[in-house]
Structure 1
Amino acid sequence: MKENITTFLASDALEKYMLGTCTEAEAKQTEHYIDTYPEVRDHYNSMQESLESFAQMHAMEAPADLREKVLSDIPVIKVVKKTYWMQIAVAASVIFAALSVFFFVKQNNLLQENNTISQEMRDLKLSIEQNNSQISSLQNELNMLNNPDTRKYVLNGNEKARELQTVAYINTKERLSLINVLDLPDLPEEKCYQMWANVDGEMVSLGILEINNNKLLNLPYKENALSYNITIEPKGGNKKPTEGSTVANIAF
């Protein structure tokens, strides 16, 4: 049940209920949660207080000349004495209608602003989660690089690709592999660089290599790899390395 409450609070059900944009079924479900669970009720009360504070901060008084403008628009009618109270009633109705429209517009604007703020809060929460994920990923990479069991292997190109330079980081205990592509010579459009692991004499593809602005990329870890090899293959890669296409390799 605790998970249901957490899921409900993480949704926008309370916001839609406050803004009046939910369906009748959604409204009944929200009211049930508010009446049944103190956590939901406290969160709902907190949202109401926040909205009320926001409304007070942006409250605007009706224009001072609104009453005069309304009265000036009422046609002047010559009436006998007995219709005096009817004129007052009509005038009051017109003034009330005008004020109702004015405050309805202001309330609608406040609700729209509150909806915008709620969306910005959700976007900010998502951004924080993404940043935390990136920080966690970078921390894991740093831990691996600083691990004494991690080995660094530099793959330099042969005469077919002298400028090629790639660094691989392998940790056999943690079964982790990272790669940093430092430089790849240009190839014709129909060609690409592909990386392979020699596992017990069989070449297993580790994917196509591209320049990644000195960023570390995860590399598929292969148990019992005897060497890493880089070849030039047709665009899109090959299932098996082309014979005589090796431009770099390193044995473990």
Structure 2
Amino acid sequence: MYRIFIIEDDDKIGAILKSTMEKYGFEAERAVHFKDLLGEFTAYDPHLVLLDINLPYFDGFYWCRQIRTRSNVPILFISAREGEMDQVMAIENGGDDYLPKPIHLDLLLAKVKGALRRAYGEYAAASAATAASAAELELYSLRLNLSRNELEWRGERTELTKNERLLAEAFMKRPDEIVAREQLLEALWDDVQFVDDNTLTVNVTRLRKKLEEIGIIKAIETVRGQGYRLNAEALREAGA
């Protein structure tokens, strides 16, 4: 059963959305703690989010960006704002679609079903099959499977998080080159304004540990004041 997370501070509208989703066979939960929506999102782990723009503390654009640091889950904005720029901002901040209020429930249901099909159903399966042949990078026998978020080295495998996979991809496409911290931040997050620089350091450290798990030591070098570099020589030596 698909889980729908409803981020709407208007009790009447929120109740209607929840009952509509449940009526058509979805599991639904409404947000409660508007200061910690990312925490609620993570705990509930939904398949789709219905997101209002006008919210207490921070607006929906902010929370959409925060969710995108954790997940590619479909996000449908629902808002009383009807301006074209609001719709543009919804998409640019990571949303998948936009529905103005008053909500036409039949249209909402059709968009929810369509988004779920694209993300998890037959459309997703067809897209994955088409991309499978081009979903791998290889550098000196180090293989990165982009569709499975998996690194393989001489028969040893390790699973990566999404951010670890994005970092590995950036490094493997530019071996022996310095990749600036700003470039890596932009590769991992659409809007780096709200990202602590230490978060990148943590993700790079985790990727280093994953490489060590499969037998590759000290392949990612820190270039002080500039960024990081994948030392291709270290890969060659490890494989010798």
Whether the TM-score (by the shorter chain) exceeds 0.5 is no
Which of these two proteins has the greater Rg computed from alpha carbons? 1
TM-score range, shorter chain: under 0.3
**TM norm structure 2:** 0.22
**TM norm structure 1:** 0.21
